[in-house]
């Protein structure tokens, strides 16, 4: 079973700063890795799939990178609407379609 | 416009049963795998089940295997989750999602298991 780990648990940044979120897989998931954003009281929203492909309508300030076991989500120039919780999910080897524990990006 | 609308949540006693529904519209339902994902209060996302487009193949998380059953009625564009032998730890918001990874999500339905 593949286990997904995210760090840090919380990231405190100011608007306009760059956010770098990390996700690790316990074994290789190739590039079958997705990132989601979730705001309080809302359903998750798909941001990135295939480790680096932005989903429809996702702004270019969101970018994903990595392959194998190490992945990064970068938000270049945080905007007020970007403060949220971010989850990674592997879909290479399943079940389970494991999520990471999440990273909360909060306003500093 | 793709829409997913869950229903069927509520309060149930431990050991009880509940069936959730997810009504889909705006796309050809039968051509997409569908998942259920839950989120306990204040916790992260937990994937629990997925079924193929025709419903001939399904997979479950260990935490629900043998107690929950995912199914679909493609003639009604509806996904279901039959939940039996419910436990307090099954308390969560339950979301349905289209495809893997989930590109569209419903708004969620709250299931509370408590005596």
Asked if the C-beta of A3 comes within 8 angstroms of chain B's C-beta atoms, the answer is: no
Distance from CA of A86 to the nearest CA of B (A): 10
Among B58, B29, B33, B62, which residue's Cα sits nearest to residue B46?
Answer: B62
Chain B interface test: which of A44, A54, A56, A104 (most B C-beta within 10 Å)? A44
The pLDDT, as a whole number, for residue A5 is: 98
Distance from CA of A15 to the nearest CA of B (A): 25
The pLDDT, as a whole number, for residue B87 is: 98
Asked if the C-beta of A59 comes within 8 angstroms of chain B's C-beta atoms, the answer is: no
Please confirm whether the linkage preceding A53 is cis (ω < 30° from 0).
Answer: no
The pLDDT, as a whole number, for residue A36 is: 98
Q: Give pLDDT tens digits for A40-62.
A: 999 999 999 999 999 999 999 99
Partners of A4 in the beta sheet? A25
Long-range contacts of B21-27 (CB under 8 A, 24+ apart): B21/B78, B21/B79, B21/B80, B22/B78, B22/B79, B22/B80, B22/B81, B22/B96, B22/B106, B23/B76, B23/B77, B23/B78, B24/B77, B24/B78, B24/B79, B24/B98, B25/B77, B26/B1, B26/B2, B27/B2, B27/B98
Q: Give pLDDT tens digits for B30-89.
A: 999 999 999 999 999 999 999 999 999 999 999 999 999 999 999 999 999 999 999 999
Asked if the C-beta of B62 comes within 8 angstroms of chain A's C-beta atoms, the answer is: yes
The pLDDT, as a whole number, for residue A68 is: 97
């Amino acid at each position: 079973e593949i286990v997904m780990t995210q760090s840090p648990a919380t990231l405190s940044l100011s608007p306009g700063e760059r956010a770098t979120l990390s996700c690790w897989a316990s074994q290789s998931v190739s590039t079958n890795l997705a990132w989601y954003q979730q705001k309080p009281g809302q359903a998750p929203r798909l941001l990135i799939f295939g480790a680096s492909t932005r989903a429809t309508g996702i702004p270019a300030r969101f970018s994903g990178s990595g392959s194998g076991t190490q992945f990064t989500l970068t938000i270049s120039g945080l905007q007020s609407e970007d403060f949220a919780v971010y989850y990674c999910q592997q879909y290479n080897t399943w079940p389970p379609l494991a999520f990471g524990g999440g990273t909360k990006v909060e306003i500093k | 416009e793709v829409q997913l609308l869950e229903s069927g949540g509520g309060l149930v006693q431990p050991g009880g049963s509940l069936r959730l529904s997810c009504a889909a519209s705006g796309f050809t339902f039968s051509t997409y795998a569908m998942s259920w994902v839950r989120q306990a209060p204040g916790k992260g996302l937990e994937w629990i089940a997925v079924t193929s487009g025709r419903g001939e193949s399904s997979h479950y998380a260990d935490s629900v295997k043998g107690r929950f059953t995912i199914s679909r009625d493609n003639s009604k564009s509806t996904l279901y989750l039959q939940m039996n032998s419910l436990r307090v730890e099954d308390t969560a918001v339950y979301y349905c999602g289209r495809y893997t990874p989930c590109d569209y999500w419903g708004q969620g339905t709250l299931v509370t298991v408590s005596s």
